[in-house]
A and B are shown apart, each in its own frame.
Chain A
């Protein structure tokens, strides 16, 4: 009886102690994670919420007051010729740059890995565009693409092909920018693929050889390509996000012109926000941009990840 009473008394005491300990642990955990959480909110989630809120107003940069106008910015946006153009151009850009630069990057990585001579040189040469400042390179490109005395048109003339006014012709300007975008990303993708290639165990190739896989193409299809799955996925997503962010070449070389033929999302955002001072509208464009990037990240996390990992 006394025992029971004792336990009866002791149990709540123990739980209080437990609870106190649990509480202390929680406190420790919070104080450890707190700063990081706070910073994350301050610098990552907070600004996104601000942009969302701002996109529902008619705020003008530097204005003293603003008005909540609901979804009006979005309505205006989808009725705006320039914005539609901008979305089309951005999607075209992504649609061309991603497959081309991933394919070429993979090709370059395979070729460099296959040979043994001058490997370091090739690696450095292909990686150069990634290291060079794009603004400086854009100026070099501008010279090369000059309609009269640019290297590109002069070379074409030498083999009797008529060139274009690459940056002023509405029909070709976007493709010119795509070309520069590909040139810029191939090296980066190549490096990632090379890392992926070195991670493939040699015995898989030996096993394949025993199973009768003899030529290079079959080796690629049965071993290399499946084993590169996760890397490829990563490269595609990163290249897609980087392509959505195309801005510097447009700003330096075409300013979105001629007549909006090279207008892209980030450039629209910039010109609306910092040239026309329509911050509310620019925020709405930013939200659309974020939606695209988030969709890509979601695709990556939920659909593709499951297909490329072999546990």
Chain B
């Protein structure tokens, strides 16, 4: 009896040891990404597919960052207490924080070791989004441009033609007024200016041909003609477009509830909008107006950065980053969100995304805007996060009607200039 019991115990120990050694052979990498409401499902699928291909790597996700600034702040704090994840997805315009502070790892040596790098579809344009001082730090994962969402039913009811949606602000304002006149708390237009990193402020300035800073990055340039047109336009959105002062979550709910005619947002919300609207009404997307000469639009989205430091984790992290930003990862991501692929291969591959795009015209709007894409600007120096907040404060004072647009622009450029490196 007793001897048998001992045998059982020994056997159990043996099994446990075997399991433990098998577990040790696996490399675990920790990954953290932002915007859970958009990405949770996508990352779960990427993990499943990746682990099938790489049984020796175990991917663990940390709870998603709420949004982009929060993502950068969390990671910077983690860096101080040495609790960084091995791979972190950060906003394209905030990568610089991690490069300047020496937190993000240089990927160039790993790319040099790849056998068929050119054939893997990582285009120069997309790689440039993560390239700083000639070194590759970020791998663009999901990229976006701002587009217009509109409620077909409301637009038609207000006398507009959904097949001929206006592509000038004047046309949009006229339509917005008509939608607003339908009454019953219907909102005509909302421009999601609060999106992280002043993205839609940059979109307006760039669309008028302006820039954020002078070429040598010493002086604020958004107080030039481009910026003056852009801030004036925000004022006109209130007066001529009847735009209310809403928090952007409230605006999103209003659109999903069928209470808003025209909504400017990132293409990334296409899937969220599909689910949010849930077939209650017909909606469609249209291109973002680009009135200026030499117009551009900022590329939104995020990129994978490597924070792993040991060679073993770095190797596993690199495999994961390559998979997530490569053809298979991009296919999962595009189907699950509204972002554009960072990788050139899948859009034209009949096995990957070609059939998807053919049946989803809403997803094509952003692809059409590709010629306008330019970098999502990041302010230089150590105050870049504070500058983002300062710009937001001043834009808020325009949207709530408390400050005249030109006054706000002057104050904003003065405040930002004071925070730039001297």
Contacts and interface: CB of A to CB of B under 8 A. Distances in A.
A292 interface: no
B414 to A, nearest CB: 10
A82 B419 CA distance: 13
A271 B390 CA distance: 12
A17 interface: no
A178 B396 CA distance: 24
A245 interface: no
Contact of B80 (A61, A76, A168): A61
Interface size class of A (residues with CB under 8 A): 20 to 34
A82 to B, nearest CB: 7
Interface stretch (B48-56, B137-145, B342-350, B379-387): B379-387
Interface size class of B (residues with CB under 8 A): 20 to 34
Contacts of B396: 258-259
Interface string B70-86: 00010011011000000
B73 A82 contact: no
A277 B389 contact: no
Interface string A268-288: 000110111110000000000
B397 interface: yes
A85 B33 CA distance: 35
A242 interface: no
B411 to A, nearest CB: 8
The B contact surface, by secondary structure, is helix
Contacts of A260: 393
B226 to A, nearest CB: 25
Given A275-B385, A276-B386, A259 B400 contact: yes
B20 interface: no
Contacts of B247: 168
Contacts of A63: 101, 382
B40 interface: no
Interface in A168-184: 168, 170
Contact of B397 (A76, A259, A275): A259
Nearest to B69: A275
A155 B69 CA distance: 38
Contact of B79 (A58, A62, A275, A276): A62
B389 A170 contact: no
A277 B400 contact: no
Given A82-B393, A274-B73, A62 B400 contact: no
B106 interface: no
A271 B70 CA distance: 12
A76 B385 CA distance: 17
A61 B76 contact: yes
A181 B396 CA distance: 27
Given A62-B80, A168-B247, A81 B415 contact: yes
Contact of A277 (B76, B397, B415): B76
B248 to A, nearest CB: 13
Nearest to B396: A259
B77 A278 contact: no
Nearest to B411: A81
Nearest to B73: A275
Nearest to B397: A259
B393 A277 contact: no
A300 interface: no
The 6 A-B residue pairs with the shortest CB-CB distance in the complex, in nearest-first order: A276-B386, A62-B80, A259-B396, A276-B385, A60-B382, A275-B73
Interface of A: 58, 60-63, 76, 79, 81-82, 168, 170, 258-260, 271-272, 274-278
